[in-house]
Structures are given as structure tokens and as C-alpha cells.
Amino acid sequence: MSSDGNGNGAEHSRPDPLAAPYREREQSVTLERVGHGPAAATEQLEPETELFTINLGPHHPATHGVLRLLCTLEGETVLDVKPIVGYVHTGIEKSMETQQYWKAITFVERMDYLAYNFNAQAYCMTVERLLDEPVPARGEYLRVIHCELNRIASHLFWLGTSALDIGAITMMWWALRERDYVLDLFEMSSGQRMHTRYIQVGGVIDDIPPGWERKCREFLELFPARIDQYEALLDKNEIWLQRLKNVGVVSPERLRELGVTGPLLRAAGDPWDLRKAMPYSAYSDFDFQIPVGTVGDCYDRYRVRMAEMRESARIVEQALDGLPEGPYITTNRKVALPPRHELATSMEALIHHFKLVTEGFRVGPGEAYCAIESPRGELGCYILADGSAKPARVHVRDPSFVNLQALPEMSEGGLIADMIANIAMLDPILGGIDR
Amino acid sequence: MPDATGLELLAQRIRGAVADDAVVGTAYQHEQAMLEVAPARVREVLTYLRDKDEEPYEQLLSLHGVDYLPEEPRLGVHYQLLARARRERLGVKTRVTVEDPVVPSVVDIFPTANFHEREAFDMFGLLFDGHPDPRRILLPEDYEGFPQRRDFPVGGEPVLFTHNEHKYPRWYE
Amino acid sequence: MEVVRNKVAAPGTPAAPGTPEDFRAKQLSAQQMLRGDLDGRALEQYVEERVMLTTLDKAQNWARRNACWPLGFGLACCAIEMITVIGSPRNDISRFGAEVVRASPRQADMIILSGRVSIKMAPIIRRIYDQMLEPKWVIAMGACSSSAGMFSNYAVVQGADKFLPVDVYIPGCPPRPEALIYGIMKLQDKITNEPSLGWRKRYDAEGTEEPVA
């Protein structure tokens, strides 16, 4: 770390921001803001109104993953929340710099580990932008189908665990049951339930097997009835309403300032969805709606995600109906592996296969940023390419990382139980936050 | 995205409104617009882009650090801006050296930059002047070093094979 | 109402096991035992059928393995598959007695390390492991906690066995729910078959106690 206070750079006479001792910098609560100034703290504070700082530690049953929250409480009222993250920091971005472009797909999938197809989609879109490589129509449709199924699975898991946090334990069983159907579909098309590596640079890794479409349609037939059952259980449930109504309201302007996107912003009334606003992939071919809330409280967030599941099912159905024929991955052999049967007959195919597997394709120097709409918001991927076969810098703008900044605003002034509901409805995925 | 001519016009407007040395360069590749800005002018340029330009960009989506080794100046900060009404994205970047990695903080212009700047400091050692909470966010607070710089080793252990398992003994030996 | 009485063979006459007559005979002999009516040969036969001889160790191990309560500890993607095992109707962990996922380490028997162990999290896991009461077991689920998986870098501890004694390693990224269940069954076999020495002796970890100030 360079010390710039006294050494070179005489025109910068600013104090070193890191010179203060660490404990002084880490203030749990800015007392001026909560009205208990340092002077007042010692004089007028009665023993019963003592501020109480607790640690909703990284190991906690109700935080979705290893999130640590430093809460300052007055009784049960939350005065200040400081999220501390980094407990599952894996150095994925650094590791990706040591891998070829297509090997890095496995790394980037493990960031937001419930929306793995979205991570891969954002990354592959950016690489394709750098290569100026178009994706065939069938590949785009298959990508959309798998992404929307992943959105359904992610929202189902969110529903199950959020309801578990708030107390409606039955929902976990039901939601995970449906999620198992979706994971069966993924297993059928790619061999893996999670982290399927299905989306590759240039398209998808393999075509859907025969019988997949029928099984998918069976799932889509039973799914809306299941959502009806979930809504019948929770929508008008007195306890659910009392826990979620008017809890964690933040104005859409403040949410936009904080960079929050996704269902949280849509629940506050702002219909910003990248699938409609800046369409990518094949989303402009489909007819679907964007559910938007009115108040922006936790109940609206719940309703928005439930409606999004229905819309995703509609998108998958339309995509299956209109699935075009053709190649599922780009035919450019410099980027995508040739099909196995060609290796026996064609020398060029063998050479391409060898080069792609050992060295990988090279991407010319440049930088690009592409963003998609993941179940949690805008998932952007920035790649700096330096002409070699490995990316020089990959940064993923993860939606949960930015959405977490809204948690203090949502929770201050409420009770701890409301904060638990806020965390649940925020849908943070710590793998994405920590990367 | 603004197209190439739009980008040049924007650069001209910024040069006129902020300062002549504000915009160092423009780049338009793969249909993406990128402005390079001098580090001292970052705040003014971003305020101008957010408020006063005739085509404003009101949202900051991402702020990340980049290490351009072996090019100098080595460290860069990228700001990814979005104009919602016109559905356009703009990238703004500044370059600083490793010896003097100070960039003015934009937290008061775009409050979303809080966590992003902490992460850029954590990973690259970029010091953001005026950030209210300059601490590491992802790594342990007492970690030494800035991992995502290109000269920092990736770390980890060598994989044990038969030929090297006696050179790197296991933990139980 | 018509009452039908069926002739039952006298006690002592062997009936085919599993038939209703056999069951009825057992019921009657139990009734007689309670009244104190059984004598001699019938009493000996009664006792032989119902008494099992075992060692205290085996009984203890049987009790421990069939009610191994996991600590609710999920780190990353493997946690999703772990929650699928615990909470999904398809893969049901309660048939192994392990559905009681405890939130407090003091009440848990085993910890399933599901996910990558980062350097920031490692001391916390160690502290939680120390807070668990013996006997305790550790399952390293997935490639990342067994051996750092694909993340051979600065931020991930290269295998949880660097700081914890691990009993069962489950490969996979993430392992299927069936793989996790197989791992739990392997742990049950381990509890059954290995003599229950103190775990410190088992892993040569004597002298590694950490005094908590």
C-alpha cells in the first residue's frame, strides 16, 4: 500500500484516509444520525435505553448464507445495521484470469449460485460481443428457455427459504418439490442439476434430447396450478400480511440512487426490466408482462416475484412453441468445438478441436460490458481482453452486492423481526455478493 | 449506446463545460462507448453527466477497478453509467498509477458507489478520497496485499501428483 | 351382531411366523406374561424371543448414528443441495433421524461443511466446531470443502481438513442429494464400526486445545 501522505506527490496534501486506527473507522452507528449524540449519550441516556450492539453473525439460521450484520438496537428497534460481507469470498475473478475463456464459464457460474445460467449468459454475451460473434436462433431460444426455467427455480428457492424464515414452514416443502422438477429438466438436458455449464460461448453446449420438450410441457401444465396453491396459502394469510405489509418501504428514487435493480425496484413501482427495456438474446420475440408493485413494501416484493414466476412459465411455453431449427451453437470452428463425428473425417476439425482444447480461442484486445436481467436485478459482466486466450480482467456486477446497500435503509426504525423479513425479501445470494 | 459521433459530441461538450483537459480520450468499439477522463476531473465530469448535460446519464451501475499491466498508468477505475430514458450506456474510465492511486470518491454523487469503491480498494489498493468508510469489504480486515493486481500471485497449493508428493508433504506429515 | 370365535392353537404349538395365527399367539402370550401366568418352558421361550444381547458400545453407537443431528451450516452452492436433502420431499433425511437441524452448535452432533471455506470464514467455523459437544462428526460436502475444489487461489482454504478433523468427504460440485445421503450413511457406518475413542486420539490431535480467554 503506497503512502502518499508525506512522500512524493507534493500537490496532494490530503491526509491519508487509512492513517486513523481501524477501530475508529469502523463505527457501528453514527450517533448524530440517530439523535443520540456523543454528549447526550453520557448525560441523558437512562439505563433502560442503553443501545445494544449485537452481531447477527455469519452463522445464523435466518441470514441467507454467511452474512454478518452488526445491528445496533434500542430494545427491539433497529437503529443501525451494518452488513459485513466477505465470508465466502472465493477470488473467482482472479481465478478466471488464469483460465481460458471457455473454462472460465465454470468459475463464473458459481458466483450467484442460484442463477447459474444467468451468470454464464452474461459472461458469454460479453465474450461474444468482444468477438462480434452472433449466436444462432436455436441457441438463443434454448438459452432463453433455460434461463427462464432457472428464474423459476431461483424464485421457488427464494419462496421456500423466505417463508421458512418468516415462519410458514410448509412452503419450503412445496417450493422445493417444484424446484426438483426443474432440476430434473436441467439434468436431462445437460447432465447436472446445478452449475450445468449449459450456456457456452456461441450458443449452448448441446441440443435438448428427445422427450425434453414433452417433459417441459408437462411441468408447465402443472405449474400455474401450483402457484395458485402457494398464493392460496400465503396471499391472504393474516400472519403473512402482518409480517410483510408496510415493512421495509424505500422510495423508488432512493432505490435508484442506491443502484438497486430487479424485483426490489419493480416492487417500488418502477417498471425497469432489462428484458423489455434493452432486450438481449431472443426476448424481443416473446410476449410477456412485467409485474410492478405499488407501495414497495415486502408484500409487494413477494407478489412481484410470484407474478414473475407465472410470466417466466409463459415465456418458456412461447419459446418451446416457436423453437426454430438449426444449429444450437455457432458454426464458427474457431470459437466452438466441432461436433464429435467430424473429428473422424475432417482434418481441419481435428486441428480446431486441438487448438480450442489446449489453448482456447483468442480474443482481440478490447473491453466490453454487457448486462442481463437476473432474478435479483441487473447482472453485468465486464471483460478486458488483451489478445491472449485468457481474459485479463473479468468483473461481474452482481445485483445482490448492490441491493445489499438498501438493507440499512429498509431496516432502520423497524423491529428485528422486520429486518429478518427484509433480508428474506431482499433475496441476497452471498456467493454473488462476495464472489 | 451513443454511437461514435454521439460520443465525440459528448466529449466536446464535456471539454467545453468542465475543462479542456478533462477528457483524455474516447473509444468506441463493439458498439460500446468509453470516455477516458483525467483523475482529478472525475467528480466534475460525473456531476455534469448526471445533471447538466442535454443527454444526462442518471444512474451509476458499476464501479470497478482494472489493472492494465503492463501498460502505464497501471490502475484504472471504470464507471458504468446508464441513461434510463434513452436506454443508453456509457463507460467512463480514469487511469492512475500504482505509486499514487488516489481517485476522488463519487459517493455523494452516486450513493451506490459505497460498496463498489470499498471493493476496488480491497482488490486493487485504489484510494478513494472522501469515502466515508474506507475499509476492506471482502477480505479479512488485516489482510496485506491487493489480490487482483496482476502481479499478485493467484495463490493456492500445487496439486499433489506422484512425482511431487514428497516435495510437498501433506498436513499430517 | 354375530360374534365369530376362531380356534387358536395352544401356546407351544409353532405357527408359521408372519401369519395372523402367529401374531395372535404372541399377543396371548404377552397377555399371559403380564398376568404372570407363564411358567417353565413357555416363560423361557418368551424371554428368548424378546431379549437381545449386545455390548454397551454397540448400543451407544446405534443410538448415536440413528439420531445424528446436523448443525444448520450452509456456506455456498453445496448448501442448496443440502437444503434440498433436508427440505425436499423427494430426498428425505428424516428417515436417518437427521431432520432436526439445530441452529445452535451446542445441540448439534454433526456439521456438514457445505461450500467453499474462505480465509475469512475459517476461524469462525473452527470456533463453531469447538463449541459443539462431543461426540461430533464432520462431513466435508463437495469438492470445495474437501480440497478447495477448483479454487486453488489466495482466498480459499485448501481443504477443510487443514483446520478440522473431517470424517467423511463427499465429492461432487455440487454432489447430488443422493450423494449426500450416501455420505451420511457412510458416516453412520463409521459410527457403528469404529470403536468410540476420543476424537482427539483418533486424529492425533492431542494438544491442539485452544484456551478461550
Q: Are A298 and A317 in contact (CB under 8 A)?
A: no
Of the candidates A266, A269, A237, the one whose C-alpha atom is nearest the C-alpha of residue A373 is A266
CA-CA distance, B155 to B173, in Å (whole number)? 22
CA-CA distance, B10 to B45, in Å (whole number)? 11
- Chain A residues near residue C121 by CB distance under 8 angstroms: 58, 66, 87-88
User: In A, what residues contact C, Cβ < 8 A?
Assistant: 57-61, 65-66, 86-92, 94-95, 106-107, 110, 113-114, 157, 160-161, 164, 172-173, 176-177, 179-180, 193-195, 430-431, 434
Establish if A11 belongs to a structural domain. no
CA-CA distance, A424 to A155, in Å (whole number)? 12
Q: Domain of residue A309: give its range.
A: 92-434
**Domain end (from A34, A56, A84):** A84
**A67 has a pLDDT exceeding 50:** yes
Is A118 found in the same domain as A99? yes
| Residue in C154, C158, C204 nearest the CB of B147 | C154
Is A235 found in the same domain as A110? yes
> What stretches in chain B show pLDDT beneath 50?
none
The answer, for B144 touching chain C at a CB cutoff of 8 Å, is no
Predicted local distance difference test score (pLDDT) of residue A1: 38
Residue with the bigger pLDDT between C195 and B136: it is B136
CA dihedral (C151, C156, C161, C162) positive or negative: positive
Residue with the bigger pLDDT between C154 and C2: it is C154
Is A112 found in the same domain as A78? no
A195 and C76: CB-CB below 8 Å? no
Domain count, chain A: 2
Measured between alpha carbons, how far is residue B8 from residues A140, A416, A429, B3, B140 in Å? 34, 52, 40, 9, 43
Q: How confident is the model at residue A305 (pLDDT cuts 50, 70, 90)?
A: very high
**A304 has a pLDDT exceeding 90:** yes
CA-CA distance, A181 to C160, in Å (whole number)? 32
Of the candidates A356, A364, A355, A367, the one whose C-alpha atom is nearest the C-alpha of residue A387 is A364
Establish if A57 belongs to a structural domain. yes
Predicted local distance difference test score (pLDDT) of residue A318: 92
Is A394 found in the same domain as A251? yes
The answer, for B157 touching chain C at a CB cutoff of 8 Å, is yes
Q: How large is the average pLDDT for residues A326-342?
A: 86
Establish if A13 belongs to a structural domain. no
DSSP annotation string for A42-91: HHT--GGG--EEEEE-SS-SSSSSS-EEEEEEETTEEEEEEEE--TT---
- Chain C residues near residue A58 by CB distance under 8 angstroms: 121, 124
Looking at the DSSP assignment, which residues form a beta bridge with residue C102? C71
pLDDT, tens digit, for every residue of A371-410? Answer: 999 999 999 999 999 888 899 999 999 999 999 999 988 8
B147 and A434: CB-CB below 8 Å? no
| High-pLDDT (> 90) share of chain C, % | 3
Residue with the bigger pLDDT between A169 and A1: it is A169
| B29, B34, B39, B42: CA torsion to nearest 10 | 180
C151 and B140: CB-CB below 8 Å? no
Residue B127 backbone dihedrals phi, psi, to 5 degrees: -95, 125
What ipTM did this prediction achieve? 0.89
Is A194 found in the same domain as A318? yes
C154 and A113: CB-CB below 8 Å? no
How far from the centroid of its chain's Cα atoms is residue B78's Cα?
3
Predicted local distance difference test score (pLDDT) of residue A13: 46
CA-CA distance, A271 to A294, in Å (whole number)? 11
Is A111 found in the same domain as A74? no
Establish if A50 belongs to a structural domain. yes
| Residue in C153, C161, C204 nearest the CB of B155 | C153
Establish if A16 belongs to a structural domain. no
Is A357 found in the same domain as A232? yes
* Strand order, beta sheet including B88-96: B23-29, B32-37, B88-96, B75-83, B59-67
A369 and B89: CB-CB below 8 Å? yes
Q: Are C75 and C116 in contact (CB under 8 A)?
A: yes
How far from the centroid of its chain's Cα atoms is residue A152's Cα?
13
The answer, for B124 touching chain A at a CB cutoff of 8 Å, is no
Looking at the DSSP assignment, which residues form a beta bridge with residue A72? A53, A80
3-state DSSP assignment of residue A7: coil
CA-CA distance, A145 to A208, in Å (whole number)? 11
Is A213 found in the same domain as A108? yes
pLDDT, tens digit, for every residue of C29-50? Answer: 788 888 887 777 878 877 887 7
CA-CA distance, B26 to A136, in Å (whole number)? 32
Task: Give kind and range of the element (H or E) at residue A229.
Answer: helix A212-234
A–B: how many Cβ contacts below 8 A? 130
Establish if A164 belongs to a structural domain. yes
CA-CA distance, C183 to C92, in Å (whole number)? 14
Predicted local distance difference test score (pLDDT) of residue B16: 84
Is A236 found in the same domain as A137? yes
**Domain end (from A65, A84, A103):** A84
CA-CA distance, B154 to A185, in Å (whole number)? 36
Of the candidates A290, A176, A181, A184, the one whose C-alpha atom is nearest the C-alpha of residue A230 is A176
pLDDT, tens digit, for every residue of A22-51? Answer: 555 555 444 444 444 444 444 555 555 677
Establish if A6 belongs to a structural domain. no
Can you tell me which residue has the cell 444467468? A118
Establish if A10 belongs to a structural domain. no
Q: Look up residue A260 and give its DSSP letter.
A: -
Is A45 found in the same domain as A76? yes
The answer, for A306 touching chain B at a CB cutoff of 8 Å, is no
| Residue A178's CATH number | 1.10.645.10
The answer, for B101 touching chain A at a CB cutoff of 8 Å, is yes
Q: Are B67 and B75 in contact (CB under 8 A)?
A: yes
Interface test with C, best of A59, A92, A186 (most C CBs within 10 A): A59
A–C: how many Cβ contacts below 8 A? 94
pLDDT, tens digit, for every residue of C65-106? Answer: 888 888 878 888 888 888 888 888 888 888 888 878 888 889
**Domain end (from A84, A111, A137):** A84
Of the candidates C149, C145, C138, the one whose C-alpha atom is nearest the C-alpha of residue C184 is C138
**A252 has a pLDDT exceeding 80:** yes
Is A237 found in the same domain as A338? yes
Is A96 found in the same domain as A76? no
C-alpha cell at A180: 426438483
Predicted local distance difference test score (pLDDT) of residue A39: 45
- C residues 16..75 contacting A (CB < 8 A): 72-75
**C212 has a pLDDT exceeding 70:** no
